[in-house]
């Protein structure tokens, strides 16, 4: 009745790294690391499932690894934190080759090294169907800092860091014509936004270190969903002008209705949305601009009861929270 673990799973068991002097020891099962009294600790954990969050038709193994780590780093960025370490648990079906699994870890390692992050643990198991990858990311942020969702105040401006819609547009292309279609250079920018999102760590750090009262969310589930979360958590209303929402430049070739859908509901852009005072905006705008980080005011905060309103051509509508979209059940 019993069988041994796949041999190849044992082989690809990741090599844990040990570059930080704060790491005291790493076993197969647990890691021990020094904390730093001036910092609070951050932790987050996200899972990507084959056939739900990605397929082999939309992502190469390297991209799967890259993105699995990126979406977690984005959670740390939304707290204004410095990502420090990561752990990876991967459940592997038989049909994935050792080379593909090596590529998954290479994708994580290539992104992680940008932030000097050590891989300090995890687990490697077999799966009955579909690859499932769960990443835990640790981070740190200066004590006293908090960019909580509940920080939005009436009178604040609503801002977006970066621009929106490219990831969903890229996914649309991938679902229509797959990974290996001869895409134009324009289209490749959209694909890359979906496959290799770059978390806004530097912007998060600048916002956190400003000492300003800022509410912040990363945009994983679409602007509509994330702004509703801010409004609810802060018990205020948010008023957003669609014309001000920063749309990715490569969306220009597409009908405005598509652009709107992608920007508001598409998700997976991993940019930031938040609120701060007008004085704060004036203070931070040149600092972010100097770092080539795009900061755009898209609306304002009023007293209210947790609603978001969208204004377009003088028409006002309630912007509803929409769930994250998953792949269809058929692959």
What residues numbered 83-102 form the site for a second copy, per CB under 8 A?
85, 87-89, 91
Nearest approach in angstroms of CB 139 to a second copy is 8
Nearest-angstrom CA–CA distance, 244 and 250: 16
Nearest approach in angstroms of CB 313 to a second copy is 27
Structure tokens at 7: 């041999």
Determine whether 291 is exposed, middle or buried from the number of CB atoms within 10 Å of its CB (0-12, 13-18, 19+): exposed
The size of the interface with a second copy (CB under 8 A), counted in residues, is 75
**Identity of the residue, 58 or 248, whose beta carbon is nearer to a second copy in the bound complex:** 58
Structure tokens at 30: 């647990």
105 marked as binding residue: yes
* Pair 189, 166: CB distance under 8 Å: yes
Stretch that binds a second copy, among 116-124, 206-214, 241-249, 285-293 (CB under 8 A): 116-124
- 271 to 310, contacts with a second copy by CB under 8 A? none
User: Binding of a second copy at residue 166 (CB under 8 A)?
Assistant: no
Nearest-angstrom CA–CA distance, 177 and 167: 15
Exactly one of 68, 69, 132, 310 binds a second copy (CB under 8 A); which one? 132
Exactly one of 57, 97, 99, 125 binds a second copy (CB under 8 A); which one? 125
Nearest-angstrom CA–CA distance, 207 and 146: 10
Exactly one of 15, 128, 314, 315 binds a second copy (CB under 8 A); which one? 128
| Angle, vertex CA 174, rays to CA 169 and CA 175, nearest 5 | 95
75 marked as binding residue: yes
- Which residue carries 């300003």 as its tokens? 212
Exactly one of 141, 231, 263, 295 binds a second copy (CB under 8 A); which one? 141
Stretch that binds a second copy, among 72-80, 186-194, 251-259, 279-287 (CB under 8 A): 72-80
User: Binding of a second copy at residue 181 (CB under 8 A)?
Assistant: no
Residues present in the chain in total? 331
Nearest approach in angstroms of CB 146 to a second copy is 6
Mutual angle of helices 166-177 and 185-195, in 10-degree steps: 110
- Which residue carries 């077999």 as its tokens? 126
Contacts of 304 (CB under 8 A, 6+ apart): 231, 235, 236, 237
Stretch that binds a second copy, among 141-149, 185-193, 204-212, 306-314 (CB under 8 A): 141-149
Exactly one of 12, 16, 44, 160 binds a second copy (CB under 8 A); which one? 44
Nearest approach in angstroms of CB 261 to a second copy is 11
User: Binding of a second copy at residue 229 (CB under 8 A)?
Assistant: yes
Nearest-angstrom CA–CA distance, 272 and 289: 15
29 marked as binding residue: yes
Distances (CA, A) of 276 to 137, 193, 224, 271: 27, 27, 18, 16
Nearest approach in angstroms of CB 316 to a second copy is 26
> Residue 312's beta-bridge partner residues?
315
Structure tokens at 141: 């942020």
User: Binding of a second copy at residue 206 (CB under 8 A)?
Assistant: no
Nearest approach in angstroms of CB 319 to a second copy is 17
Exactly one of 68, 76, 169, 191 binds a second copy (CB under 8 A); which one? 76
User: Binding of a second copy at residue 39 (CB under 8 A)?
Assistant: yes
User: Binding of a second copy at residue 232 (CB under 8 A)?
Assistant: no
Nearest-angstrom CA–CA distance, 224 and 52: 21
Structure tokens at 103: 């590529």
Nearest-angstrom CA–CA distance, 116 and 155: 39
Q: Annotated binding site, which residues?
A: 29, 46, 53, 75, 105, 122-123, 149, 218, 220-221, 268, 324
Q: Annotated binding site for Mg(2+), which residues?
A: 29, 46, 75, 123, 218, 221
């Amino acid at each position: 009745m019993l069988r041994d673990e796949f041999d190849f799973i044992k082989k690809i068991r990741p090599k844990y790294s040990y570059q930080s002097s704060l790491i005291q020891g790493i076993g197969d099962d647990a890691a021990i690391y020094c904390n730093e009294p001036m910092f609070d600790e951050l932790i987050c954990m996200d899972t990507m499932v084959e056939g739900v969050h990605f397929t082999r038709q939309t992502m190469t193994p390297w991209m799967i690894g890259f993105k699995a780590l990126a979406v977690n780093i984005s959670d740390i960025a939304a707290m204004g934190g410095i990502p420090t370490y990561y752990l990876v648990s991967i459940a592997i079906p038989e049909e994935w080759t050792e080379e593909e699994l090596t590529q998954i870890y290479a994708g994580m390692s290539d992104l992680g090294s940008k932030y000097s992050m050590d891989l300090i643990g995890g687990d490697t198991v077999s799966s009955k169907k579909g690859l499932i990858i769960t990443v835990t990311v640790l981070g740190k942020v200066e004590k006293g800092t908090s960019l909580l969702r509940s920080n939005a105040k009436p009178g604040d401006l609503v801002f977006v860091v970066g621009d929106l819609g490219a990831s969903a547009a890229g996914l649309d292309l991938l679902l229509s014509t797959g990974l290996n279609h001869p895409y134009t250079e324009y289209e490749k920018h959209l694909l890359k936004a979906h496959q290799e999102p770059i978390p806004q760590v530097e912007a998060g750090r600048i916002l956190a270190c400003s000492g300003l009262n800022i509410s912040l969310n990363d945009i994983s589930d679409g602007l509509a969903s994330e702004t509703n979360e801010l409004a609810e958590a802060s018990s205020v209303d948010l008023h957003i002008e669609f014309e001000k929402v920063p749309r990715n430049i490569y969306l220009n070739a597409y009908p405005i209705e598509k652009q709107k859908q992608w920007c508001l509901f598409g998700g997976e852009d991993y940019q930031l949305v938040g609120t701060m005072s007008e004085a704060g905006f004036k203070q931070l705008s040149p600092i972010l601009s100097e770092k080539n980080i795009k900061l755009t005011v898209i609306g304002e905060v009023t007293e209210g009861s947790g609603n978001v309103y969208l204004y377009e051509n003088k028409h006002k509508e309630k912007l509803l929270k929409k769930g994250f979209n998953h792949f269809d059940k058929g692959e």
